Amino acid sequence: MKPKERFSGLADAYAKARPGYPEEVIDFVIKHCRLKAGDVLVDIGSGTGISSRVFSKRGLKVIGIEPNEEMRKQALFINSQIEGNHQLPIYQNGSGEETGLPDHSAHAVLSAQAFHWLDPEKALAEFARILKPSGWVILIWNEGNYSHALTKDYRDLVRQYSNKELDTIVKLRQNGGSPLLESRLFCRGEKLIFANEQILDEQGLLNRALSSSYLCKDPAAREALINGLKELFQQKQENGFVTLKYNLELYVARCP
């Protein structure tokens, strides 16, 4: 399945149940990349706008680039529900390899949970083209912390009802930002790890799993997964919630 089509039919669950990004990480990125209010940040593979909204709240002008129409529509719907007078992200069709944006028009390029779907060489060349001199690339992944018992149990259960694509995706995500650190187009590259967590009620845990693109499509398998997740939730919940733990991997590098 092409990356563009991979999350078709999953936009609602994705928007409701994917983990966000801690304020500590946003603070670090803004300070490290010397971003200020009004600067342009291009969010590649912006999906339902989870990462776009975090940065727009800090006063950045965020342009979300997303090839999947359903995901863009969900992001626009969420925009329509937001109250307040801060600038909201804008979203447009495009890809990491072909953004459709002008040369040297962005102060930073972000790709959160999405860079592994791209052709890294073509995407990094496109990032370099649209970035201003000394502009920054920021890559983020929330990776499960499987030293945490519940998070490991959740992963193992989802794996039982996933197709063969899961192993390929795991390999793509492992050290997924290495092409950025190795690219001659960028300098001052580094990788950092932050702790992150996600507190979920039962429906949230179900949505978190059902938003995955690699689940088996067989209805019986889906029902078995849901039943297994409900049982896991009942075993581990405290006051109606469970917590998934993540290692947030952050890669940053700058145009010369």
pLDDT digits (tens, 9 = 90+) for 123-158: 999 999 999 999 999 999 999 999 999 999 999 999
Q: Would you place residue 1 in the very low, low, confident or very high pLDDT band (cuts 50, 70, 90)?
A: very low
Q: In the prediction, which pLDDT does 8 show?
A: 58
pLDDT digits (tens, 9 = 90+) for 219-232: 999 999 999 999 99
Q: Please report, for the chain, the start and end positions of each structural domain, with discontinuous segments joined by +.
A: 3-144+171-197+246-254
pTM of the model: 0.93
Residue 215 confidence (pLDDT) above 90: no
Mean pLDDT, the chain, rounded, equals: 93
Q: With the C-alpha atoms ordered 163, 222, 12, 15, is the resulting torsion angle positive or negative?
A: negative
What's the fold here for domain 3-144+171-197+246-254? Rossmann fold (3.40.50)
Q: In the prediction, which pLDDT does 4 show?
A: 54
Phi, psi of 91 (to 5 degrees): -130, 140
Please write down the HEC assignment for all residues of the chain.
CCHHHCCCCCHHHHHHHCCCCCHHHHHHHHHHCCCCCCCEEEEECCCCCHHHHHHHCCCCEEEEECCCHHHHHHHHHHHHHCCCCCCCCEEECCCCCCCCCCCCCEEEEEEECCHHHCCHHHHHHHHHHHEEEEEEEEEEEEEECCCCHHHHHHHHHHHHCECCHHHHHHHHHCCCCHHHHHCCCCEEEEEEEEEEEEEECHHHHHHHHHCCCCECCCHHHHHHHHHHHHHHHHHHCECCEEEEEEEEEEEEEECC
| Rounded-to-integer distance, Cα 60 and Cα 90, Å | 11
